Amino acid sequence: MVPKIKRILISQPKPDPEKSPYADLIKKYNLKIDFFKFFKIVGIPCREFRQQRVNIGDFTAIILTSRNAVDHFFKISEEMRQPISDDVKYFCASEAISLYLQKYVTYRKRKVFAGRTNFNDLMEIIRKHKDENFLLPCIENHKIDIPKLLDKEDISYNKAVISRTVSESLSKIDLIRYDMYVFFSPSGITSLFENEPEFKQGDKIIAVFGKTTLEEAKNRGLKAQIVAPTKEAPSMAMAIDNYLDKLQKNKRKSATLAKKSANTEASKEKLQKETTGKTTAKKPTKTAERPTKSTKTARTTKDKKTVGAATPKKSPKKSTSTTKAKKK
């Protein structure tokens, strides 16, 4: 049976409608797509930060991997009253993060570096500044990909947990209404089960982005029908498009096969009726030529009567004693 996909829930904040990669999907497949972030990122208290024994002033370079990292890094610095030197260098994972950094620093007084598309691009720049003492502000239960890359290149760095994820309440969302759920991080799946401990996938379609999200889905007993990024679908929008396109093709194929099957059955029935009609016309029933049991009985009785009438009855012989008496 080909599933019907009409409503999709994406566990992310609603993007700009003009820049949203899902706008084309809505028009192409007549979909209803809703956005709701299943979790939020909050900064950790100063008390917890102190336990890490990290002095921000000891570092000459800061690695920033997201806008949230930028916000929480400067917030904890202010709360801890640890000033940041004007000579500190900032290494941003993307151009968008480096532009967002202007909210807190002035480009003329800072040295800012940015990767083109991903962290691998940024690593090329970091290699050229191996002499710096790097600080990597990160989220609790962060991915280990970036620390692995830094370790591989023998970069001197320290991690500092500055934030954590907290599940949002999903009480305002009617999950049953949706045919597909889209997750971009393990935290989204965690939030789903924290809100709905007895959640069962059933016939719902699950889409996940990234290896860690896929692993979390498997650990929770979910089957992911859509996985990104891949060579064929580097983005989630493309992965969903490919899946829905395949569904439509399968639906058309099923409809064609059903139509052919129906036509075949109709042809068989028609041929059977025609064959039955011809057979009946060639061998008509001869009821009149086959006498019934009652007719046979009547004829037998009549024949007996006829035979009895044709054969004369013989007169009985007179007894010898009677004849002799008359002569005397």
CB 25 within 8 A of CB 33: yes
Q: What is the pLDDT of residue 242?
A: 96
Task: Tell me which residues of the chain have a pLDDT lower than 70.
Answer: 1-2, 108-110, 255, 258, 266, 277-328
Please tell me the distance from the alpha carbon of residue 209 to that of residue 230, in angstroms, as a whole number: 10
CB 192 within 8 A of CB 38: yes
CB 10 within 8 A of CB 22: yes
Please tell me the distance from the alpha carbon of residue 101 to that of residue 98, in angstroms, as a whole number: 5
Q: What is the pLDDT of residue 324?
A: 46
pTM of this structure: 0.68
Return residue ranges of the chain for CATH 3.40.50.10090: 42-167
Please tell me the distance from the alpha carbon of residue 220 to that of residue 203, in angstroms, as a whole number: 16
CB 9 within 8 A of CB 175: yes
Please tell me the distance from the alpha carbon of residue 167 to that of residue 186, in angstroms, as a whole number: 11
| Token pair 């930060």: residue | 49
Q: How many residues does the chain have?
A: 328
CA distances from 287 to 46, 103, 247, 284, 290 (A): 109, 107, 62, 9, 6
Q: What is the pLDDT of residue 18?
A: 78
Helix (H) or strand (E) holding 147, with range, is: helix 145-152
Please tell me the distance from the alpha carbon of residue 32 to that of residue 22, in angstroms, as a whole number: 10
Q: What is the pLDDT of residue 282?
A: 55
Please tell me the distance from the alpha carbon of residue 61 to that of residue 63, in angstroms, as a whole number: 7
* Letter string b/e over residues 72-110, b meaning 16 or more CB atoms within 10 A of that residue's CB: bbbebbeeeeeebeeebbbbbbbeebbebbeebbeeeeb
Strands 157-167 and 39-43: antiparallel
- Find out if CATH 1.10.3260.10 is the number for domain 42-167: no
CB 71 within 8 A of CB 104: no
